[in-house]
A and B are shown apart, each in its own frame.
Chain A
């Protein structure tokens, strides 16, 4: 992975120079900068009707009567930066999503525009359509490569369950090859999901099915999103599989977004248990923080607070906390920063 210096994400330069700008968290007396690697910008009209209803039902009254307005206030680049400000998060990563049948579409262009608007605060992950792969696959890979050449576009986002393609289907391995060639990590949703219309069979959700792809692409970084969490039954799910894969493959990273939210972890026990298991296994240097926001106003900051509490309960040192909240992200995405 080598990039010319001018492609170093502008957003990371400030952080590596130690400029906090008032952002970050105080953990055990140590100031730690925060990068949230999992945020969804959006356009309400691009979300399928069933998902609109699902999302609306989660807003409080009367915001649920005009969910479009509420969503656009929060989901625009400006809205997301506002949420980062409120939450004390320095840098956020926007995800493009192409899942027209489930969660909807947030185009690469939407993400690129947001990153261009706030180059010091936002980075982007590009994505692609996979629903007509046999005939459109090559064109989609070209489009993905073009998107990744744009400034601040640092990785690829995939969600097999939402996009309806198997984790172990080799016909899609071209995506991982491209990622490895360009030095752009791939984020993969793992675990079940309570969104309507998603594929819940193990081949779409169980990270064990990713092993052939991980093994075949050692030069590609795989970030296992949600750690295989079971969002349907609010259970820890496939965490042990993620841990096993991280032990076995140096190119596997772990991301704990959404699973610790009030809705996903009502007892508040699962999140600290998961973080503790990862520390016990000596895998804190593979953890990269994300929230899966913005969801609703205040969520980004709330998830960060819940993460700090969970880290305290899981007996994380300040160094562990720094690794999770920003250190590992900088290591993976800004390795050349400062050169």
Chain B
């Protein structure tokens, strides 16, 4: 996908004016071609138990995806594809200010990390949210640079709430403990030595989740990851994803 496409889509969603201009736009559009819009009229909003969670009214899944946090009683699933990162994630809001997650992350189908996570909302303002997340998982990489080991990641997300879009910045610090076996063949015989080392991966994703409807969102982002820093140089990537969600109670 080209940068131009990302930018033009971003401009569309970010630049979509809220309020009067929005009303004027929809008023001038023919009724038959009115697209499904992000906001839902109040009278169609689900009753009381379903409005628990974030914000005063039912907000779109896109905003919860950007914050990495699902409000109490809400769930969502998402998948993304890009270069080099692919991913799948499910979120479940469990109340008490917490949300849980199950995640699978992959790069070029050679590096994999399944993980479970717990997210807490640290700042919840009408326009801004900040969340923190802890993920525990297992990293394995196949191929010439095969490696495996337990993995933990801390994430910080900053998400903005616009009417139809949620721009976000995610910063992550991923740590893996790798055990490696070295076989030394000498005249005196073969010795096997085990050693451990850490792999650190720094992560920054800058993107926007656009609200196609209340239940559907499209995620577009640039991924700046520094895998196995500082030993290895890294090339930036990008991904596109889809999120879908609803209520479970």
Contact = CB atoms under 8 A, between A and B. Distances in A.
A56 interface: yes
A55 B108 CA distance: 18
Nearest to B233: A60
Interface string A256-294: 000000000000000000000000000000000000000
Nearest to A56: B144
Nearest to B146: A53
Contacts of A64: 144-145, 232
Contacts of A63: 235
B234 A53 contact: no
A49 B143 CA distance: 10
Contacts of B177: none
Interface in B112-162: 141, 143-145
Contacts of B107: 61-62, 65
A53 B141 CA distance: 13
A30 interface: no
A67 interface: yes
A61 B143 contact: no
Interface string A15-57: 0000000000000000000000000000000000100110111
B235 A53 contact: no
A266 to B, nearest CB: 15
A66 interface: yes
A216 to B, nearest CB: 34
Contacts of B231: 57
Interface in A163-222: none
Contacts of B39: none
A339 B144 CA distance: 51
B225 A65 contact: no
Interface residues of A, number: 15
B57 interface: no
A96 B84 CA distance: 34
Contacts of B228: 61
Contacts of A49: 144
A66 B143 contact: yes
A65 B237 contact: no
A66 B141 CA distance: 11
Give the most central of B141, B144, B228: most A CB within 10 Å: B144
Contacts of B204: none
A53 B144 CA distance: 5
B123 to A, nearest CB: 32
Contacts of A57: 145, 231-232
Given A52-B144, A53-B144, A61 B227 contact: yes
A89 B108 CA distance: 33
Interface string B208-231: 000000000000000001111001
Nearest to A62: B84
Contacts of A56: 143-145
Contact of A60 (B110, B145, B235): B235
B50 interface: no
B111 interface: yes
A49 B141 CA distance: 16
A64 B84 CA distance: 11
Nearest to A52: B144
A61 B225 contact: yes
B206 to A, nearest CB: 18
Contacts of A60: 232-235
B219 to A, nearest CB: 20
Contacts of B143: 56, 65-67
B84 A53 contact: no
12 contacts: A49-B144, A52-B144, A53-B144, A56-B143, A57-B145, A60-B233, A62-B83, A62-B227, A62-B234, A65-B107, A65-B108, A65-B110
Interface of A: 49, 52-53, 55-57, 60-68
Interface of B: 83-84, 107-108, 110-111, 141, 143-145, 225-228, 231-235, 237
